[in-house]
Amino acid sequence: SPLSLFSTSTFFNLNTSTLKKNNISQPEIEGLYRRFRALDKGHKGYISADEFLSIPELSINPLAKRLERVFESVNFKEFVGFLAAFSPRASREARVRLVFAVFDSDGDGVVSRSDLELCVRQLVGASMGEEGVAAVVASALEGAMANRRKAAAAATSLPPL
């Protein structure tokens, strides 16, 4: 059966360290594998953006088009890593990486003002004008800068080792 093949540590290179890193148990991985195989209509070993977005919880997300860009074709290991970020046991780093990938609309490694504006527009649709979008983005950037200053101040106030 496919699941017995899946149980080997070589399948999709999902070994013990990968399972621990994603805080996912072997039975959860097997369930995800069944879901992945159901989504992979052509049994290609990866799922396309359209197949990926056929997951109902993702297809109704206002940022679904952003997810489509981030995950143009997803192999099983990437599928597990992506869904692991939604787990209550996910690390903060895993969640931040996912959010960053979604918000970095141009893929340049920086979440810029224009990236944020695009996200806000996609989230609110026509219910908010350009001035409202600009105000939300300005507030978000001000909050980010305040948090950055606090973190820098806390780091400089630590006693030397």
Helix (H) or strand (E) holding 83: helix 76-84
Tens of pLDDT along 29-76? Answer: 888 899 999 999 888 999 988 888 888 877 777 777 777 776 778 888
Tens of pLDDT along 88-106? Answer: 888 888 888 888 888 888 8
Q: What is the pTM of this model?
A: 0.61
**Cβ-count burial 39-48 (b if 16+ within 10 Å, e if not):** bbeeeeebbb
E strand segments, 10-120: 46-48, 73-75
